[in-house]
Chains A and B, each alone.
Chain A
Amino acid sequence: MSLLAADLRAFLAAGLKEIRQQRRYPTLFLGQLFWPVILPASWVLMGQAYSGNDPQALAAFANRAGSSNVAVFVFVGYAMYNWLSVLLWGAGTALRQEQLRGTLEAVFVTPASRLVPLFGPGVATLLPMAVVFASNLVALRVFFGIFPPIAAVIQAAIIVVLGIPALYAIGALFAASVLRFGEVAPVVQLIRGMFVLACGITFPLAMLPIWAQVWAKLMPPTYIVDDLRRVLLQGDTIAGVFGDIALVMSLAVLTAFLAIAVFRYLELSARRTGMLGRF
C-alpha cells in the first residue's frame, strides 16, 4: 500500500473514531437540537421588541441589513454561530482532549502523517453541523411559518458545502494553537465571541466601525453568512456570489497552511522540551 493510501486510511479511521465517540454520548446531540432552535428564536423576539413593528424602524433595519426579514437574517447568523460552536468545541479541542486523556503521545508514535491527528477529527463535525442546519430550518418553519424557496435553500446548501474547507481549516488552526494553553474553555469562548462580533452573525456588518469591517473581511465566516443571506433573502444566485466563494476557498488554503505551520512548530518545540505529555 502506498504511503498516501495508508495515510488516507488513517485519516478516515481518525474521523470514524470521533464519530463513534459521539455516538456513545447521545445526550450531546440534545444541545444540537435545543440551541439552534431556542437561541435564534429569542433573538427574533428581541428584533420584534426593538422594531415595535414600526415601519420606519423596519425600513432602517432593511437599509443596514439588506432585508427586513429579521427572522431569516437571525437564523442564518445563528446557523453559523452553532457551526462555529460545534467546530471549536469539537475538532478545535480534539488535540487537547487527546493530551488530557494521555493518548496524544501514543498517536504521535504511530507511523501515520502528523496531518492525520490535525485534520482527522474535523470529519466528525459534519454530522452535528448537518443536525444544526436541519434544526434551524425546522424551527424557522414551525415557529415563524417561514420556509425559503427550495431553489434558494439548495443554493444555500451548496454555499455551506463550499464553505466547509474554510471552517475545517479554522478548526485545525485553533486545535493546533490551543495545545499551548492549559485551560481551553475560556479561549473557545473568546474566539467564538470574536467571530460573533466581527462576522455579522447577530447584527448587520454595517453597524461595525470601518476598521472592524476591514478586519471582518479577513474572516471566511463573514463571507459565508453574507452569501447565505444574499441567496435566501435577496434572491441572489451562486453565480452572483462566486467571487466571495473563490475568496473563501483561498482563505481556506491559507488557513490550512498556517495550521500546519503552527502544528509543526509546536511539535518541534515539544520534541526539544518534552512538553507533549504535560498539561
Chain B
Amino acid sequence: MATEAFGTRLQRYRAASWWPTAATLVIAELGLGAALLIPITFSDPNGVDPFLARLSIASVLIALPSLVVQRLQAARPILLALAAVATTYTLLSAGPQILFDLFGARSGSFDEQVFWASVAQAVGTLLIAVVAWRTVAPDWRPSLRMRHLGFGGLAAAVIGSAVLIGLGLALPAGLLGRVALQPVALGRDFPLLGPANALQAFSQEVQFRGLLLGALERTMSPRWANVCQAAVFGLAHLAISYGGPEAPFVPITFLVGLALGWLVRRTNSLWPAVIIHAVADIALQFGIVQGLYGF
C-alpha cells in the first residue's frame, strides 16, 4: 500500500519540471559523497588517501554519460558543474607538484607554481562552462551572468566585502585561527598569491553561482535553486577541508553560498560575488596563521 503510494508520488514528481535536475543533483551528490567518505574508514587523509583524485574520477565518470545520453541533457550543466568543481580543484592542489615534476627548478617558486595552478583552474572551469553552454538546448542553458557589472553591483561588492571581513574579525580568533598578520610573508607572497586567490574565487563562482545556479534556475524556483547550489557549495568544503575540522565549515559555507547566490540574482551579475569571494579568500590566506597540523 505504502509502496503504491510512493510509486504514484514518484510518477507525479517525475513529471515535474524540476525533477530531472533535482534528482540528478541529489543522486550525484550521494555518489560523490560515498566515493569521498566511505574510504575514510580505512584510509589516512593526511597520508596515502588520494581523495581529490578519486573525487575527480567519480565526478567525470558520472558526468561523461550525460554528454551522450539524451535523457540526461537537462542535468548536463549540473553534472559538468560538479565535475568542474572536483577536477579543477584537484588540478589546483596537484598543480605545484605537477609543474615541479615537469620543469624541475625552472618551475619557479612555490608561489609561482600556485599562481599557474590557479590559472589552470580558471581556464579549466571556463572550458567546462563553454562545453555546458554550447552542448545543451537553449532552454537548458545556464545563465552565467558574466556580461556586466553595474554601479549597484560594485557597491554591493564593496559593502559585502566589508561585512564579511567585519564578521571575520568579530568571531573569536580561535575559531578561524586568525590570530595574527605576518607582514614579511604578506609582502613576499601577495604579488602572486593575491591574484591566485582571486582566480580561485573566480573559478568557484563560475562553478557554483554561474553554472550550477544558472542551470538549476531553468527548472525550479529561484529560491530552491539558490538553496540547492548553496548546499552543494557547503558540502564541497567537506572535500576541501577533508583533513581538518570540516564539520563547522559546512554550515558556514552554506550560509555564505546562500548570500552570494542571492546577490548574484539580485544584481544579475556574477562579478559582485567574485569580488567578495576573492576578498574573503585573500583575507583567509593572509589573516590566518596555520596550526601544526595545517589547520
Does chain A bind chain B? Answer: no
> Measuring CB to CB, which residues of chain B are less than 8 angstroms from any residue of chain A?
none
